[in-house]
Chain A
Amino acid sequence: MSPFKLRPTSCNVQNASELAEIFAGSWRQSSFRKATLSSENLHRHAGLIASAGGAALTWFSIRRYIPEFSESVVNLYREAYVDSVARAAAHEAELERISAAFQAAGIRSILLKGWSIGRLYPESGLRPSGDIDLWIDPNRHVRAILERVATRRQSVDLDHDQLRRFENRSFDEFYASCDTVHLGSTPIKVLPREDQIRVLCLHFLKHGGWRPIWLCDIAVLLESSNAAFRWELCLGSDARRARWVGCTIALARDLLGARIPQEAPRCVTSSPPGWFTRTILREWSNPAAPNAESFAHRCTKKCHN
């Protein structure tokens, strides 16, 4: 049963609500097929699901029930899944090459988003692989190394203004607190879950929350966190930003059924403002280009009222 409780007010928001129900808990291996996962819904919302970045995840939800779906729906989502797995494989190979080259040159880097979250899904390729987001030791120049090892088939993003704007800890401090995970035989530094969730929440808001898969990422991270989750680290010391992060986590719970670690503070356990949820659903109902400006405009207007 989806935890989704909103009462949509328009056709478009109705579509986004159905999209949320399709994605709710989709990263878990479910023992039953949700009613919203029907051939009709998956056919009707195919464009929205694809632009949401959730086609492979949808395949993961339906592949145990193939006889219950039309052939065209099965083929459509299966192809999207194969495409996503292939892209993830290429993404991981490039990440491994670049990380190994940086390490050989003694350059410290922290992987943000991308594979650092993708590895927490039940399988590789269930979320789309975009840029390789690396936070590099600011004292080092990496251009020559990138030119030598990067195939240029994957975009490498080294500029993360969000970290400069919203974080008050230095690269060294973050690096010291990182977890080390392995991709093949290559060790890769990733932020602790608490920091990752905050970074993802702020990234989600910065881009107007237009891509539902980003909220799935937050849900997956929350559910992969253990009992020792440090809420004070996740929310940060700035009260206003803590509310932003809290609202976004609450949104993941309300729209996607994310299970939140215990002993969450009130800004996480209370419901997010209605306008916030409605705005995000309107973004999700638009399968076209991201609409961050209109979101920022609406957000500013609401915050000032």
Chain B
Amino acid sequence: MSTPEIQDELQSTRFEQRKLIARKIDEELLLFDEETSTAHCLNGIAGEMWMACERHSSAADVTDFLRTRWPDIEKEVVWASLSRMAAAGLLEETTGQEIISPARRELIRRLGFTAAAVLPIVVTSVLIPPAAAAASCGHLLAPCGGTNPPCCSGFHCLAGVCEPL
């Protein structure tokens, strides 16, 4: 697996946290995406990986960080885990290479496929309905109409939002 192309990929691809709300719960990390109202629960090692991407970090950087706690973890596994988290919208991924050769793409695909079976990360995502939808009635400027709750007393629904009467 240690082909030059893959080594290059491990160094040149950078990962950075997306702007999500993070909360530590028990041994896990909860990430909440306000735009999509989705909560992502990351197990311990996935949470550590995400936290290690505070600034643009490569898989090699993250591996060095993780090895203080998980000495046997491999760079390829970390790279595949970070890529998967990027695909789930938890990380931004940037690569120094503008053009990826077909051969390299194939190598990446194979690496990703192989590593996927043994990835230590667990990410559970759940949609959290916005609080407005859970409220019994809408206050000032709350969305109304359609499936939204009706406006509270003292307000009426005007152009999709609750306005004062």
Residues in chain B near residue A157, CB distance under 8 A:
139-140
Asked whether, in the complex, the Cβ of A89 is within 8 Å of the Cβ of B132, the reply is no
Asked whether, in the complex, the Cβ of B135 is within 8 Å of the Cβ of A155, the reply is yes
Kindly specify which of B4-12, B25-33, B45-53, B87-95 makes contact with the partner chain. B25-33
CB closest residue in chain B, given A93: B21
Contact of B30 among A89, A156, A290 (CB under 8 A): A89
CB distance from A42 to the nearest CB of B (A): 18
Asked whether, in the complex, the Cβ of A83 is within 8 Å of the Cβ of B126, the reply is yes
Those of B133-147 within 8 Å (CB) of chain A? 135-136, 138-143
CB distance from B25 to the nearest CB of A (A): 6
CB closest residue in chain A, given B154: A159
Those of B34-88 within 8 Å (CB) of chain A? 34, 37, 39, 41
Asked whether, in the complex, the Cβ of B135 is within 8 Å of the Cβ of A131, the reply is yes
Asked whether, in the complex, the Cβ of B128 is within 8 Å of the Cβ of A155, the reply is no
Contact A146/B128 with A85-B25, A90-B32 known, Cβ cut-off 8 Å: no
CB distance from B20 to the nearest CB of A (A): 9
Contact of B132 among A85, A147, A153, A290 (CB under 8 A): A153
Asked whether, in the complex, the Cβ of B23 is within 8 Å of the Cβ of A124, the reply is yes
Residues in chain A near residue B135, CB distance under 8 A:
130-131, 155
Give the size category of B's interface with A. 20 to 34
Contact A146/B21 with A63-B26, A155-B135 known, Cβ cut-off 8 Å: no
CB closest residue in chain A, given B161: A152
Residues in chain A near residue B126, CB distance under 8 A:
79, 82-83
Asked whether, in the complex, the Cβ of A130 is within 8 Å of the Cβ of B25, the reply is no
Contact of B131 among A85, A87, A125, A290 (CB under 8 A): A87
A151 adjacent to chain B (CB < 8 Å):
yes
B120 adjacent to chain A (CB < 8 Å):
no
Contact of A155 among B25, B30, B131 (CB under 8 A): B131
Asked whether, in the complex, the Cβ of B23 is within 8 Å of the Cβ of A89, the reply is yes
CB distance from A220 to the nearest CB of B (A): 20
Asked whether, in the complex, the Cβ of B23 is within 8 Å of the Cβ of A130, the reply is no
A27 adjacent to chain B (CB < 8 Å):
no
Asked whether, in the complex, the Cβ of B131 is within 8 Å of the Cβ of A156, the reply is no
- Count of chain A residues with Cβ under 8 Å from any Cβ of B? 32
Asked whether, in the complex, the Cβ of A152 is within 8 Å of the Cβ of B128, the reply is no
Q: How far does the alpha carbon of A90 sit from the alpha carbon of B32 in the complex, in Å?
A: 7
The proximity string for A residues 72-96 relative to B, scoring 1 for CB distances below 8 Å and 0 otherwise, is: 0000000101110111011101000
Asked whether, in the complex, the Cβ of B39 is within 8 Å of the Cβ of A153, the reply is no
Contact of B32 among A81, A86, A143 (CB under 8 A): A86
Asked whether, in the complex, the Cβ of A146 is within 8 Å of the Cβ of B140, the reply is yes
Asked whether, in the complex, the Cβ of B141 is within 8 Å of the Cβ of A81, the reply is no
Contact A89/B32 with A63-B26, A146-B140, A156-B140 known, Cβ cut-off 8 Å: yes
Contact A152/B154 with A83-B39, A83-B126, A86-B128 known, Cβ cut-off 8 Å: no
Residues in chain A near residue B143, CB distance under 8 A:
152
Asked whether, in the complex, the Cβ of A152 is within 8 Å of the Cβ of B30, the reply is no
> Residues of B with Cβ closer than 8 Å to A?
21, 23, 25-26, 30, 32, 34, 37, 39, 41, 126, 128, 130-132, 135-136, 138-143, 154, 161
Q: Which 8 A-B pairs give the minimum distances between C-beta atoms?
A: A86-B39, A153-B130, A89-B21, A157-B139, A86-B32, A155-B139, A86-B128, A89-B32
Q: List 9 A-B contacts (CB under 8 A).
A: A143-B141, A152-B141, A152-B161, A156-B140, A156-B141, A157-B139, A158-B139, A159-B140, A159-B154
Further contacts, 20 of them, CB under 8 A, given A131-B131, A150-B141: A83-B39, A85-B23, A86-B23, A86-B39, A87-B131, A89-B30, A90-B21, A90-B37, A90-B128, A90-B131, A93-B34, A124-B23, A130-B135, A131-B139, A151-B34, A155-B132, A155-B138, A156-B142, A157-B139, A158-B139
